[in-house]
């Protein structure tokens, strides 16, 4: 869907391309958001034919973009920013095959053909198929098609081959495969706090307290830039206690930075001195895992290992794990199970240091 255009008067002009392939005016508005809402309403209006008229065929890309626009961040029932970005990427994949087709032209045979053509990336295929099925189900509800062509059997169970299970000893192998202070600090932070990588690289030194051994997760870095809160919502933040061995690694990194001047801004830097991006962190990790002989390991596995280890500590409850990991599922249950900063500190005080255990072997 095209973006509204701001006029010299300051108002925003809204136009849309209808199912007929022609551009239609949706008026001018005082704000960009109102113009965007008008575009969605205009598209819905154009999709409905007048009584007695034959409805114009609606292209898949036009209909799908209208649906996804209703799930944009900031709207009721919206997706989280990162989830919305991923859905946009999945739609781009679908549009390569189905975008130019009218909804009623898409057949079960074409859907199966698309499915079979993407057999090498099963996890991504499953998620993209889910979006396709959602869109076509909505088209059935809107009476634009009579039957959903998405009928691939067992599509929801389509998964990649089972990956290995990684443990604390694997974290230690990664740690001792590098002598770079920053890389060791990042590995230790991720394995000791279960932060998402976007949350870790978004940290500023002001978010870390060595006196209290805590870190505040207030924002996260995405391919679209810095976002407030976490991937589950702008209002979602976390105050995490740091295990002693994590604090020591970060203190070593701080000391190294101090030798170069005043320490402010991003905790983790790129080679030019700017903030380390998620993509750069992933590249560093891929090189490191190769050196460690762990080429099937993903950076996100560090979060899984951390939460699994945390969950094994005596007295840790589901609420504790959800609070530390920043999960939104089981939210209602969390209202009845309280987790505070002092309890979090008690839990992490017993977390084993995988690097120390490996070093003693």
> Which residue ranges make up each domain of the chain?
5-49, 60-142, 168-339
What's the rounded Cα separation, in Å, for the pair 202 and 210?
A: 18
Q: Angle of helix 318-325 relative to helix 341-348, nearest 10 degrees?
A: 100
> What residues does 219 pair with on adjacent strands?
228
End-to-end CA distance of the chain: 59
User: Are the CB atoms for 190 and 302 separated by under 8 Å?
Assistant: yes
Nearest to 291 by CA among 137, 204, 173: 173
Residue 218's pLDDT is what? Answer: 94
Q: Do 234 and 228 touch, CB atoms closer than 8 A?
A: yes
Q: Say how far apart CA 33 and CA 75 lie, in whole Å.
A: 11
Q: What integer is the mean pLDDT of 97-115?
A: 94
In sign, the C-alpha dihedral spanning 249, 255, 259, 262 is: positive
Q: What is the pLDDT of residues 62-76, one digit of tens each?
A: 999 988 988 887 776
Mean pLDDT of 103-107: 94
Query: Minimum mean pLDDT among 77-91, 126-140, 293-307, 329-343: which range?
Result: 329-343
Give residue 244's pLDDT.
93
Q: What pLDDT score was predicted for residue 288?
A: 95
* pTM across the whole model: 0.62
Q: Quote the DSSP letter at residue 225.
A: E
* pLDDT class of 54 with cuts at 50, 70, 90: very low
d(CA 170, CA 172): 5
168-339 topology per CATH: hpI Integrase; Chain A (1.10.443)
Q: Report the C-alpha gap between 187 and 249 in whole angstroms.
A: 10
CA–CA distances in Å: residue 160 to residues 120, 121, 130: 9, 7, 16
**CB atoms near residue 283 (< 10 Å):** 11
In this predicted model, what pLDDT tens digit does every residue of 308-328 receive, in sequence order? 888 888 888 888 888 888 877
Q: Would the pLDDT of 178 be above 70?
A: yes
Q: Answer yes or no: is pLDDT of 47 > 70.
A: no
257 against 155, higher pLDDT: 257
Residue 193 contacts residue 246 (beta carbons within 8 Å): yes
């Amino acid at each position: 869907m095209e973006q509204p255009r701001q006029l010299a008067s300051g108002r925003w002009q809204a136009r849309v391309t209808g199912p007929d392939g022609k551009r239609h005016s949706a008026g001018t508005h005082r704000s960009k958001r109102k113009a965007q809402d008008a575009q969605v309403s205009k598209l819905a209006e154009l999709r409905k034919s007048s009584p007695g008229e034959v409805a114009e065929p609606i292209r898949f890309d036009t209909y799908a973009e209208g649906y996804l626009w209703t799930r944009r961040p900031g709207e009721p029932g919206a997706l989280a920013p990162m989830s919305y970005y991923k859905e946009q990427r999945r739609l781009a994949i679908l549009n390569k095959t189905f975008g130019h087709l009218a909804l009623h032209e898409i057949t079960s045979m074409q859907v199966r053909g698309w499915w079979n053509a993407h057999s090498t990336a099963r996890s991504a295929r499953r998620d993209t198929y889910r979006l396709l099925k959602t869109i076509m189900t909505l088209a059935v509800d809107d009476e634009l098609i009579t039957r959903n062509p998405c009928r691939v059997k067992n599509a929801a169970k389509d998964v990649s081959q089972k990956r290995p299970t990684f443990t604390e000893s694997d974290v230690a192998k990664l740690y001792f495969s590098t002598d770079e202070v920053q890389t060791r600090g990042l590995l230790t932070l991720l394995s000791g706090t279960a932060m998402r990588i976007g949350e870790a690289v978004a940290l500023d030194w002001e978010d870390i307290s060595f006196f209290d051994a805590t870190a505040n997760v207030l924002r996260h870095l995405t391919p679209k830039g810095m976002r407030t809160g976490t991937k589950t919502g702008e209002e979602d933040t976390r105050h995490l206690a740091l295990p002693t061995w994590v604090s020591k690694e970060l203190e070593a990194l701080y000391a190294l930075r101090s030798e170069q001047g005043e320490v402010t801004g991003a905790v983790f830097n790129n080679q030019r001195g700017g903030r380390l991006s998620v993509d750069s962190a992933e590249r560093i990790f891929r090189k490191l895992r190769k050196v460690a002989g762990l080429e099937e390991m993903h950076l996100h596995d560090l979060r899984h290992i951390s939460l699994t280890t945390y969950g094994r500590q005596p007295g840790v409850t589901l609420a504790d794990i959800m609070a530390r990991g920043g999960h939104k599922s089981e939210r209602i249950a969390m209202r009845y199970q309280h987790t505070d900063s002092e309890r979090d500190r008690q839990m992490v005080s017993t977390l084993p240091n995988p690097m120390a255990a490996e070093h003693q072997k």
